[in-house]
Amino acid sequence: MTEPAETAGPSGDPDRQHWLIGGRRVYFDIDRFLWDSQDWSEELAEIMAREGGLGQLSETHWKVLRFIREFYLSNGRAPRNRPLKESTGLSMREIEELFPEGIKLGARRIAGLPASIKRICD
């Protein structure tokens, strides 16, 4: 994921670009969120983390990412802070330290959630 393969998606949308990853096209929006959350894989998450400056994801990163991903797939939305903390056993400060870009631009993006998913704060 060093350079986009093109700057517009198949419909000519300038806010959508694709990257060739593992021999297939994966589409992202202008903020680097997946266009289709079904394109997500752990391999892609590792690439996105490196591109975002996180380097290698630790088991603690994966605990957060897997919970966010599973919650989204089960509920159709991002988790609120309380279930995120309770499920991972981490404080919000610890989670934010893991993802310097924040929960939305860091953890949720790397977990493959679309940018349009809203979260209601506790």
What's the pLDDT at 121? 43
CA separation for the pair 93, 24 (Å, rounded): 36
Q: Give the chain's domains with CATH numbers.
A: 16-110 (1.10.10.370)
- The pLDDT of residue 17 is above 60: yes
Q: Residue with structure tokens 């991002």?
A: 78
The angle subtended at Cα 49 by Cα 109 and Cα 14, nearest 5°, is 55
Q: What is the mean pLDDT of residues 57-80?
A: 96
Query: What does the DSSP assignment read for 63-108?
Result: HHHHHHHHHHHHHSSPPPHHHHHHHHT--HHHHHHH-TTHIIIIII
* C-alpha gyration radius of the chain: 14
pLDDT tens profile 86-114: 999 999 999 999 999 989 889 999 999 98
What's the pLDDT at 13? 66
